């Protein structure tokens, strides 16, 4: 006998088998996912078999008189909004196919979720003639998924909204707004907690309004864009500092406060009394010539012990581009720190793909504006 | 009567079980004993060939003996208890709890044993980490699935060992005997682990980090090793060898590595091989001094073809004894034995002779050139490189013809 719950398991098992076939076709014979899906199918069909064997725990197979009147045989009474969700998901799927892979992927995820929910709703509605019991049955199956996924989505919306707000606010305004928001949350939270008998509806309404406001502001500021400084930094590729000259530029602001990767540096380069020297693990004494591995992320730390602001520039060859008509443009390959004040430090990470013999000038570490402050860089 | 027969039957079954268990135990013991008699064990940790490995050996032997004695006592006590108090239908004995004297003794004894192990262990760790007396520095870079060694022309490397220009090699680390060599170990792609058991312990090579490992060999010879951190498909093929040479022989090796590139004689197979090499191989492999047909220096571009951004430098390939991550020998078995089994006095001369035409392991080298991924798995299917942006993890099948292979082999034979 195929019972109500066993239908679910058999159905899912069949879907898994179909999925494994689709996987094999889609992955050009790749078996890993198919094997996983087949194992899932075996497990589901096994569970279905058990459900059939125990007749869902409701009616004995020998008690045929009870079959038609058994709770599991009754039609479910509840209304469902999952068809609506499924329609929305299908719409996103189609729109995503035309516009963006992101929307398509969200549509696929939503479609699977809606179909799964719909399937389980339909099944649980037939679990018994008692709607409250059916609701509990549904909860047993889907709550372990619904609650964490819903919580994660909610948390994601809050975090995303907060991040958009603070990326749009100025550096000065950010802490003030954060403090005010925190104080408001603390105030309302305290009010609600000390006041006896506050209904859950009121708490829910306050939270809902707060979440809605947060989301609306977040979306509005996301559409408005990030603050100017971040936009400029993004254009400069954040960590790839473009300014390599002697003069200060936009990205040299707050150089000393910039984060330096100090863990396991390949070389520490120090400028002192107009002289540049390097120290490296495994070598004794100050070096005026260093060796860096080819095609390796070398982290170089620059310490400015000299008067004034200086930057370190690593030069490792040049790129020659043909602009057509016999015209060529040479661009130096360089990695530079920001301007660093006395006592400050900053690191650069440089990956040098070619050996130093590829450059007639050789590779070097220099400080713009200081003649003679130079370290030879050898890349084998 | 029936009861007696049943009892007899049970006792026979028990005796049979004991006999089977005894046979299995004897077989396992015999197998372990036979395995310990292996002579050709180049990666044997119990045969140190340098002061660092000796320090480890001096620590692990007493610890092993103590642990062995403790283990035997514990196993014997467990076995005796299981036999002595086996279930024979007797009543459960009285359960006691709280014997301070016994508990204190059973706590103090392990503490003393562990202290006895910890003190020399800490001392050994600090001695192995000593780097202040370094005499030579070599960069060791792991990548899927081979090791690169570069000898920087910096500091004592120039002053004491005459390394006036960077030397880059692969597969075989060459060091002078009784010299405190410091390896700066890192990785270009994933985590690997460097281990020459007869010369020192392991050291992980981690992308973005430089780990220091002291290496010192007491007598000339070749010492085998193996990557000991699972690093992908061909992890098992990522081997390494450390070659220890006398100081005089080492100086010869350095001088040879620094020699100028020799252009093959015009009209020879080697000259034809040079052209094929420039077309097919120099996209990834660097040969220092090799020039393009227009006279410009040929610079390999492995960063455009490989995930790691590097391929073995082949400038002096035939001065090495191995290729493809030290997975295969460049020497025929006879010639290899001639080098590996040489006495300390003869070793340097035989090693420095390099690979001759007669000694070249043509079979493996040609198979490698014919279709490298068929010999060593390397994710080399060009249709499945989407996740790496079209970059390979190792040498792909270049589709070389037999004529091209012939001339490339002739060209490579002159790289020494």
Q: What is the pLDDT of residue A101?
A: 85
Collapsing DSSP to helix, strand or coil, A66 comes out as helix
Closest Cα in chain B, distance from residue A291 (Å): 6
| Average pLDDT value over all residues in chain B | 91
- Tell me the average pLDDT across A86-107: 87
Tell me what the pLDDT averaged over chain A comes to.
84
Residue A95: what are its φ and ψ, rounded to 5°?
-60, -40
pLDDT at B119 exceeding the cut of 90: yes
Cβ–Cβ under 8 Å, residues B176 and B342: no
Residue A254: pLDDT band with limits 50, 70, 90: low
CATH code where residue A345 lies: 2.60.40.420
Q: What is the pLDDT of residues B218-228, one digit of tens each?
A: 999 999 999 99
Q: Which of A137, A152, A179 is the C-terminal boundary of a domain? A: A137
> Is a pLDDT exceeding 80 seen at residue A379?
yes
**Closest partner residue to A291 among B131, B166, B209, by Cβ?**
B166
- H/E stretch holding B362: helix B362-370
**CB B312, CB B285: distance < 8 Å:** yes
Which residues from chain B sit within 8 angstroms of residue A293, using beta carbons? 139, 141, 148, 150, 186, 188
Q: Is A356 helix (H, G, I), strand (E, B) or coil?
A: helix
**Nearest of B139, B328, B317, B309 to residue B239 by alpha carbon:** B328
The pLDDT score that the predictor gives to residue A251 is 61
Chain B nearest-CA residue for A350: B208
Q: Cβ contact (<8 Å) for A380 and B166?
A: yes
When pLDDT is averaged across residues A211-223 and rounded to a whole number, the result is 91
Selecting from A263, A289, A358 the residue whose C-beta is nearest the C-beta of B297 gives A358
User: If you average pLDDT over residues A48-56, what whole number do you get?
Assistant: 80
* Partners of residue B207 in chain A, C-beta under 8 Å: 297
CA atoms within 13 A on the CB side of A259: 5
Q: Which of B154, B302, B310 sits opposite A289 (nearest CB)?
A: B154
Q: Which residues of A176-208 are buried (b: 16+ CB within 10 A; e: fewer)?
A: eeeeeeeeeeeeeeeeeeeeeeeeeeeeeeeee
Higher pLDDT, B71 or A321: B71
Same-domain pairing of A334 and A359: yes
Mean pLDDT value of segment B363-389: 88
Q: Which domain holds residue A189?
A: 138-235
Q: What are B82's two structure tokens? A: 């299981």
| Structure tokens that stand for A262 in this block | 């100090």
Domain boundaries in chain B? Answer: 269-413
pLDDT digit string, tens, across residues B202-218 = 999 999 889 999 999 99
Q: Looking at the structure, tell me whether residues A294 and A199 fall in a common domain.
A: no
The DSSP code for B35 is H
Q: With CB atoms and an 8 Å threshold, state whether B132 touches A358.
A: no
For the cut 50, the answer to whether the pLDDT of residue A367 exceeds it is yes
Structural domain total, chain A = 3
The DSSP 8-state label assigned to residue B277 in this structure reads I
Residue that terminates a domain, selected from A204, A235, A266: A235
- HEC secondary structure over B222-242: EEEEECCCCCCCCHHHCEEEE
Distance from A202 to chain B by nearest Cα, in Å?
51
Distance CA A123, CA B319 (A): 74
Residues forming beta bridges with residue B141, ordered by sequence position: B148, B186
Whether the CB of B208 is below 8 Å from some CB of chain A: the reply is yes
**Is-contact A141 A5, C-beta < 8 A?**
no
Asked if the model's pLDDT at residue A241 lies above 70, the reply is no
Alpha carbon of B194: minimum distance to chain A alpha carbons (Å): 17
- Look-up: residue for tokens 């709890």? B97
Looking at the fold, whether A173 and A153 belong to one and the same domain comes out as yes
Contacts with B131 (C-beta within 8 Å, 6 or more apart), sequence order: A281, A282, B182, B212, B214
What's the average model confidence in pLDDT over B146-174?
93
Q: Is the pLDDT of residue A247 over 80?
A: no
Pick from B148, B166, B210: CB nearest A264: B210
Q: What is the DSSP letter of A369?
A: T
Q: Residue A229: left (phi > 0), alpha (psi -120 to 50), or beta?
A: alpha
Average pLDDT over residues A236-265: 62
B130 touches chain A (CB under 8 A): no
In this predicted structure, what is the pLDDT of residue A27?
A: 77
Residues of A near B (Cβ–Cβ under 8 Å) read 263-264, 266, 281-285, 287, 289-291, 293-297, 299, 351, 353-355, 357-358, 378-380
At what angle are helices A200-224 and A173-194 packed, to 10 degrees? 170
* B305 vs A: CB within 8 A: no
- Interface check for B139 against chain A (CB to CB < 8 A): the answer is yes
Greater confidence (B397 vs A250) lies with B397
Same domain, residue pair A39 and A127: yes
Give B29→chain A minimum CA distance, Å: 40
Cα A296 to Cα B190, B210, B303, B317: the distances in Å are 12, 11, 10, 23
Spatial CB neighbours of A203, under 8 Å, sequence gap ≥ 6 = A192
Query: How many alpha carbons fall within 13 Å on the CB side of residue B355?
Result: 26
Question: pLDDT tens digits, residue range B305-339?
Answer: 998 899 999 999 999 999 999 999 999 999 999 99
Q: How far away is chain B from the Cα of A80, in angstroms, using its nearest Cα? A: 42
Instruction: Find, in chain B, the residue whose alpha carbon is nearest to that of A298.
Output: B208
Q: Which residue, of A109, A137, A165, is where some domain finishes?
A: A137
List of long-range contacts for B39-43, beta carbons under 8 Å, 24+ apart: B42/B198, B42/B223, B42/B224, B43/B197, B43/B198, B43/B224, B43/B225, B43/B226
Rounded CA-CA distance B157/B163 in Å is: 6
For residues A48 and A125, membership in a common domain is answered with: yes
Flag whether residue B150 sits within 8 Å of chain A, measured between CB atoms. Answer: yes
Residue B251 has a pLDDT of 96
Looking at residue B338, its pLDDT comes to: 94
Q: Per 3-state DSSP, what percentage of chain A is helix, strand, and coil (rounded to 5)?
A: 50, 15, 30
pLDDT in tens, A137-163: 889 988 998 999 999 999 999 999 999
Tell me the DSSP string of A301-317. EEEE-SSS-B--EEEEE
Decide if B212 and A282 are in contact by the 8 Å CB cutoff: yes
Judge: B303–A266 Cβ closer than 8 Å, yes or no: no
Residue A64 has pLDDT above 70, yes or no: no
Q: Are residues A36 and A124 in the same domain?
A: yes
* pLDDT on residue A365: 94
What the block records as the tokens of A363 is 């590779």
C-beta atoms surrounding A31 within 10 Å: 12
Asked, for residue A243, whether it belongs to a domain, the answer is: no
Same domain? For A125 and A225 the reply is no
Please determine, for residue A199, whether its predicted confidence score (pLDDT) is greater than 70: yes
Domain B269-413 belongs to what topology? Cytochrome Bc1 Complex; Chain D, domain 2 (1.10.760)
Question: Nearest-CA residue of chain A relative to B183?
Answer: A282
Query: pLDDT confidence of A68, banded at 50, 70, 90?
Result: low
Q: How far is the CA of B168 from the CAs of A255, A316, B101, B317, in angstroms?
A: 37, 19, 65, 10
Partner residue facing B286 (CB), from A290, A293, A355: A355
Residues A121 and A158 in one domain: no
Please compute the mean of the pLDDT values over residues A17-42 and round it to a whole number.
Answer: 84
Q: Which of A289, A291, A295 sits opposite B309 (nearest CB)?
A: A295
Residue A5 Cα distances to A45, A128, A137, A357, angstroms: 11, 11, 11, 73
Q: Å from B51 to nearest chain A CA?
A: 19
A152 in the same domain as A117: no
Q: For residue A189, give both structure tokens.
A: 């939270």
Instruction: Give residue A1's pLDDT.
Output: 64
Query: What average pLDDT does range B92-106 have in this prediction?
Result: 85
The larger pLDDT score, comparing residue A74 to residue B111, is at B111
Q: Measured between alpha carbons, how far is A135 from A53 in angstroms, rounded to an integer?
A: 24
**What integer is the mean pLDDT of B49-76?**
94
Phi, psi of A89 (to 5 degrees): -65, -40
Residue A29 has pLDDT above 70, yes or no: no
- How far does B208 lie from chain A, in Å, by closest CA? 6
Residues in chain A within 8 Å Cβ distance of B148:
293
Residue A49 belongs to some domain of the structure: yes
Please give the residue of chain B at the shortest CA–CA distance from A299.
B208
CA distance A269 to A288: 10
Domain match, A28 and A57 both = yes
pLDDT band (50, 70, 90) for residue B141: very high
Interface with chain A: mutation pick from B139, B180, B260, B283, highest number of A CBs within 10 Å: B139
Residue in A296, A352, A378 to test binding to B, most B beta-carbons within 10 Å: A296
Domain-located, residue A178: yes
A240 within some domain: no
Q: Mean pLDDT, to the nearest integer, of A235-246? A: 65
The answer to whether B387 contacts chain A (CB < 8 Å) is no
pLDDT at A340: 87
CA distance A325 to B244: 57
Q: What number of CA atoms fall less than 13 Å from residue B159's CA on the CB side?
A: 8
Q: Do A166 and A63 fall into the same domain?
A: no
Over 50: is that where the pLDDT of A256 sits? Answer: no
Q: Which residue of B has its CA nearest to A291?
A: B152
Residues in chain B within 8 Å Cβ distance of A295: 188, 302-303, 308-310
* Measured distance CA(B397)–CA(B376) in Å, rounded: 11
Give the per-residue pLDDT at A348: 86
pLDDT exceeds 80 at position A336: yes
Q: What span, in angstroms and rounded, lies between the C-alpha atoms of B348 and B341? A: 12
Q: Work out the percent of chain A whose per-residue pLDDT is above 70.
A: 87
**Chain B CB contacts of A380 below 8 Å:** 150-152, 166-168, 313
User: What residues of A are in contact with residue B167 (Cβ under 8 Å)?
Assistant: 380
Chain-chain contact of B184 with A282 (C-beta, under 8 angstroms): yes
Q: Does B153 touch chain A (CB under 8 A)?
A: yes
| ipTM of the complex as predicted | 0.80
**Nearest residue, CB atoms, B210 vs list A281, A284, A351:** A281
Give the pLDDT of residue A71. Answer: 59
> Do residues A166 and A270 share a domain?
no
Residue of A nearest to B305 (CA): A353
Q: Pick B297's closest partner by Cβ from A287, A357, A380.
A: A357
Which run of H or E residues covers position B335? helix B333-340
């Amino acid at each position: 006998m195929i019972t109500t719950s066993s239908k679910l398991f058999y159905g899912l098992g069949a879907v898994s088998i179909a999925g494994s076939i689709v996987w094999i076709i889609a992955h050009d014979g790749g078996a890993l996912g198919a094997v996983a899906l087949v194992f899932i199918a075996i497990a589901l069909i096994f569970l279905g078999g058990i459900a059939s064997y125990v007749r869902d725990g409701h009616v004995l197979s020998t008690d045929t008189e009870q079959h038609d009147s058994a709770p599991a045989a009754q039609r479910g009474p509840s209304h469902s909004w999952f068809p609506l969700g499924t329609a929305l998901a299908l719409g996103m799927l189609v729109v995503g196919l035309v516009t963006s892979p992101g929307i398509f992927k969200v549509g696929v995820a939503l479609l699977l979720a809606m179909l799964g929910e719909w399937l389980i709703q339909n099944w649980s509605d037939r679990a018994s003639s008692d709607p409250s019991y059916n609701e509990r049955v549904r909860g047993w199956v889907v709550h372990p998924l619904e609650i964490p996924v819903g919580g994660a989505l909610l948390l994601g919306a809050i975090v995303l909204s907060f991040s958009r707000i603070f990326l749009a606010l100025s550096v000065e305004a950010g802490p003030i707004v954060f403090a005010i928001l925190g104080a408001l949350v603390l105030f309302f939270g305290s009010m609600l907690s000390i006041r006896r008998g506050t209904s859950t509806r009121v708490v829910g309404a306050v939270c809902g309004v707060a979440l809605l406001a947060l989301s609306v502001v977040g979306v509005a500021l996301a559409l408005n864009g990030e603050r100017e400084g971040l936009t400029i930094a993004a254009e400069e590729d954040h960590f790839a500092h473009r300014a390599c000259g002697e003069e200060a530029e936009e990205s040299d602001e707050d150089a000393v406060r910039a984060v330096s990767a100090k863990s396991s540096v390949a070389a520490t380069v120090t400028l002192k009394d107009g002289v540049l020297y390097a120290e490296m693990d495994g070598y004794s004494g100050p070096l005026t010539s260093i060796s860096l591995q080819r095609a390796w992320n070398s982290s170089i730390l620059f310490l400015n012990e000299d008067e004034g602001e200086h930057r370190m520039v690593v030069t490792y060859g040049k790129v020659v581009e043909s602009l057509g008509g016999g015209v060529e443009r040479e661009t130096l390959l360089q990695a530079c720190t920001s301007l660093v004040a006395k006592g400050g430090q900053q690191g650069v990470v440089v990956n040098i793909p070619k050996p130093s013999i590829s450059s007639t000038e050789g590779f070097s570490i220099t400080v713009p504006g200081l003649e003679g402050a130079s370290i030879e860089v050898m890349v084998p | 009567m029936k009861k007696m027969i049943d009892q007899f039957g049970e006792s026979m079954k028990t005796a049979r079980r004991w006999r089977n268990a005894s046979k299995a135990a004897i077989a396992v013991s015999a197998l372990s004993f036979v395995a310990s008699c292996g002579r050709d064990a180049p990666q044997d940790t119990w045969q140190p060939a340098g002061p660092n490995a000796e320090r480890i050996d001096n620590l692990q032997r007493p610890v092993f003996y103590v642990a062995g004695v403790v283990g035997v006592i514990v196993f014997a006590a467990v076995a005796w208890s299981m036999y002595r108090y086996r279930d024979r239908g007797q009543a459960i004995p009285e359960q006691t709890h709280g014997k301070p004297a016994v508990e204190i003794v059973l706590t103090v004894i392990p503490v003393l044993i562990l202290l006895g192990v910890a003190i020399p262990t800490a001392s050994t760790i600090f001695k192995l980490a000593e780097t202040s007396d370094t005499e030579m520095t070599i960069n060791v870079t792991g990548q899927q699935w081979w090791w690169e060694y570069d000898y920087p022309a910096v500091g004592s490397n120039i002053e004491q060992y005459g390394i006036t220009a960077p030397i880059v090699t692969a597969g075989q680390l060459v060091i002078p005997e009784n010299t405190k060599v410091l390896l700066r170990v890192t990785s270009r792609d994933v985590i690997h682990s460097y281990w020459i058991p007869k010369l020192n312990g392991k050291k992980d090579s981690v992308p973005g980090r430089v780990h220091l490992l002291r290496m010192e060999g007491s007598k000339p010879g070749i010492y085998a090793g193996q990557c000991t951190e699972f690093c992908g498909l061909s992890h098992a093929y990522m081997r390494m060898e450390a070659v220890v040479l006398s100081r005089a022989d080492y100086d010869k090796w350095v001088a040879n590595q620094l020699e100028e590139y020799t252009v093959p004689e015009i009209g020879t197979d080697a000259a034809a091989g040079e052209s094929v090499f420039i077309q097919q191989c120099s996209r990834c492999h660097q040969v220092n001094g090799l020039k393009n047909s227009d006279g410009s220096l040929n610079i390999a571009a492995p960063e455009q073809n490989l995930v790691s951004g590097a391929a073995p430098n082949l400038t002096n390939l035939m001065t090495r004894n191995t290729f493809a991550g030290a997975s295969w020998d460049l020497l025929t078995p006879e010639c290899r034995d001639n080098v590996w089994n040489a006495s300390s006095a003869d070793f340097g001369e035989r090693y420095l002779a390099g690979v001759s035409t007669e000694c070249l392991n043509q079979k493996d080298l040609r198979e490698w050139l014919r279709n490298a991924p068929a010999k060593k798995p390397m994710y080399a299917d060009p249709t499945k490189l989407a996740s790496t942006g079209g970059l390979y993890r190792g040498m792909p099948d270049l589709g070389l013809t037999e004529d091209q292979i012939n001339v490339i082999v002739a060209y490579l034979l002159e790289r020494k």
